[in-house]
C-alpha cells in the first residue's frame, strides 16, 4: 500500500525531473500556478493521473492524502474495481459508496461470497449514474438487492449476476421492467431467476438487449427464448449452453427474428435437430452478399461463433449447410469458431479454409518417384 510519505517522495522526484535549475522544486500548473505540493495539482491533471493507475487500492489511498484530492477523486472517479478485495468487501462498499457518487462502472466480482444486501442497498442509494455492475458469485445476496437496484440504478446497461443462484424470476422480472437500457446481461447459473417467465419480461421491456448468457439455466425453454427473439431484434450473442429444454423452435425464432446474431451457444442442447440447422443456414443465404462483405471488413453481419458440441442428433449435411452459409465459421486448427466436440458423426464437416487448403495442395505437382 502507498501511504502519504511514499507519495511525497514520488512528488519530490517529480519536481527534480520536472523543474529546471532556476526553479528547483517548483513546477508550473496549467493556470500558471506554482505547484510545490501534492495538493496543488490541478483537478484535471489529478484525474488524468488516477485514470492511468491500474490498482484501485492506490486510488483509494490517494483519496486520503488531503481534502482536495479526496473531493476531486470522489467527484471525478467513474470506474472502480474492488474484485481484489478478498476480505471485508461488504464493509468497504458500505464505506465507499456514499463517497464515489459518480461511479458508472463498478466491479464487485468475488472468489468467495462476501457481499450482502446492505452493500447493494448503499450502492442503489448513492450511485444513481451506474451503468455497468458486476455482482458475479454473490451467493449471499437475496431478491432485495435486485429490487433496490431497480429503484436506484435505472440506467444500468450491463449487469453480471452470474452464479447468483438465490435470485428468483419474480425479482429479475421486476428489474427488467425498471432497467430498460440493459444491453448486456449475464445470468449464467442463475437457475431460479432465469425462467421463461422472467425472459418474457426481459424480451418485452429490454428491447436494446444485445447479449445475454443463459448458460446452465435448466428452466429456460422455447417460450422464453422465443420472447427474447421477438422483443430483442438487436441480439448479437446468446449462450444457451446446458439449457436442456431448448428445441428447434428456439433456434428457428432466433434465425427468423434476430438478423444481427453473431454468436450462439447450444452446447448440450440435445433436442436440437437438423431442422434448426437448416433454418440458420437459410437465414445466412438471404444475405449472402452482405455476409462476404462482413468477412472482409470484420464488422458485418452473420454468425462468427457457433457451439453445437454434444448436440448428437445433428447430421453432417445440415451442419455443412450452416458452415457454407456463414464463411466466418471455421473448423480449421487454430480458428475453431464452429465447435462440434462430442459429435463424432460431424468430423466430415469443413469450413471454406479447409477447401481452399486442399485445392492449394492439389495444385502443387507431386514429385516423381
Q: What does the pLDDT look like over 136-191, one tens digit per residue? A: 999 999 999 999 999 999 999 999 999 999 999 999 999 999 999 999 999 999 99
Asked if residues 155 and 132 have their Cβ atoms less than 8 Å apart, the reply is no
**Domain identity same for 157 and 37:** no
At 334 the pLDDT is 83
**Domain identity same for 235 and 307:** yes
Q: Select the more confidently predicted residue: 308 or 5.
A: 308
**What DSSP string describes 242-303?**
T-TT--HHHHHHHHHH-TT--EEE-TT-TT--HHHHHHHHHHHHTTHHHHHHHHHHS-SSS-
| Domain around 3 | 1-77
CATH number at residue 275: 3.80.10.10
How confident is residue 80, by pLDDT bands cut at 50, 70 and 90?
very high
**Is residue 166 one of the residues assigned to a domain?**
yes
Phi, psi (deg, nearest 5) at residue 280? -65, -45
pLDDT in tens, 35-72: 566 566 776 766 676 666 667 877 787 777 777 777 77
Average pLDDT of 209-218? 98
Average pLDDT of 303-318? 98
Residue 253 has pLDDT above 90, yes or no: yes
Q: Select the more confidently predicted residue: 120 or 28.
A: 120
**Is residue 364 one of the residues assigned to a domain?**
no
Residue 362 has pLDDT above 70, yes or no: no
How confident is residue 355, by pLDDT bands cut at 50, 70 and 90?
low
Over the range 17-52, which residues count as b (16 or more CB within 10 Å of their CB) and which as e? eebeeeeeeebeeeeeeebeebeebeeeebbeebee
Domain edge (last residue) among 54, 77, 100: 77
Q: Collapsing DSSP states into helix, strand and coil, what is residue 307?
A: strand
The fraction of the chain above a pLDDT of 90, given in percent, is: 68
**Domain identity same for 7 and 102:** no
Q: How many domains does the chain have?
A: 2
At 108 the pLDDT is 98
pLDDT in tens, 231-249: 999 999 999 999 999 999 9
**Is residue 368 one of the residues assigned to a domain?**
no
Amino acid at each position: 500500500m502507498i501511504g502519504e510519505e511514499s507519495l511525497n517522495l514520488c512528488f519530490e522526484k517529480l519536481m527534480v525531473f520536472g523543474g529546471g535549475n532556476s526553479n528547483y522544486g517548483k513546477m508550473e500548473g496549467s493556470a500558471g500556478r506554482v505547484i510545490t505540493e501534492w495538493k496543488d495539482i490541478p483537478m484535471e491533471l489529478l484525474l488524468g493521473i488516477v485514470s492511468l493507475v491500474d490498482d484501485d487500492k492506490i486510488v483509494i489511498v490517494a483519496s486520503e492524502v488531503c481534502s482536495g484530492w479526496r473531493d476531486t477523486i470522489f467527484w471525478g472517479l467513474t470506474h472502480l474495481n474492488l474484485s481484489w478485495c478478498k476480505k471485508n468487501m461488504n464493509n468497504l462498499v458500505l464505506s465507499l459508496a456514499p463517497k464515489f457518487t459518480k461511479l458508472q462502472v463498478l466491479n464487485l466480482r468475488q472468489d468467495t461470497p462476501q457481499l450482502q444486501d446492505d452493500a447493494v442497498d448503499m450502492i442503489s442509494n448513492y450511485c444513481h449514474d451506474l451503468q455497468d455492475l458486476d455482482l458475479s458469485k454473490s451467493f449471499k445476496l437475496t431478491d432485495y438487492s435486485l429490487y433496490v437496484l431497480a429503484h436506484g440504478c435505472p440506467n444500468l446497461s450491463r449487469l453480471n449476476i452470474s452464479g447468483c443462484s438465490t435470485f428468483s424470476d419474480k425479482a429479475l422480472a421486476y428489474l427488467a421492467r425498471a432497467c430498460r437500457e440493459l444491453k448486456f446481461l449475464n445470468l449464467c447459473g442463475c437457475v431460479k431467476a432465469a425462467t421463461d417467465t422472467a425472459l418474457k419480461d426481459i424480451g418485452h421491456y429490454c428491447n436494446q438487449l444485445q447479449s445475454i448468457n443463459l448458460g446452465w439455466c435448466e428452466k429456460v425453454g422455447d417460450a422464453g427464448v422465443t420472447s427474447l427473439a421477438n422483443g430483442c431484434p438487436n441480439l448479437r450473442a446468446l449462450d444457451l449452453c446446458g439449457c436442456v429444454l431448448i428445441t428447434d423452435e428456439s433456434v428457428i425464432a432466433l434465425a427468423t427474428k434476430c438478423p444481427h446474431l453473431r454468436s450462439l451457444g447450444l452446447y448440450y442442447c440435445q433436442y436440437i435437430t437438423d431442422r434448426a440447422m437448416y433454418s440458420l443456414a437459410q437465414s445466412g443465404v438471404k444475405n449472402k452478399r452482405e455476409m462476404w462483405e462482413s468477412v472482409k471488413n470484420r464488422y458485418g453481419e452473420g454468425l462468427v461463433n457457433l457451439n453445437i458440441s454434444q448436440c448428437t442428433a445433428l447430421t453432417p449435411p445440415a451442419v455443412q449447410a450452416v458452415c457454407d452459409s456463414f464463411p466466418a465459421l471455421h473448423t480449421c486448427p487454430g480458428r475453431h469458431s464452429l465447435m462440434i466436440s462430442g459429435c463424432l458423426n460431424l468430423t466430415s464437416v469443413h469450413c471454406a479454409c479447409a477447401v481452399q487448403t486442399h485445392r492449394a495442395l492439389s495444385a502443387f505437382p507431386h514429385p516423381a518417384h
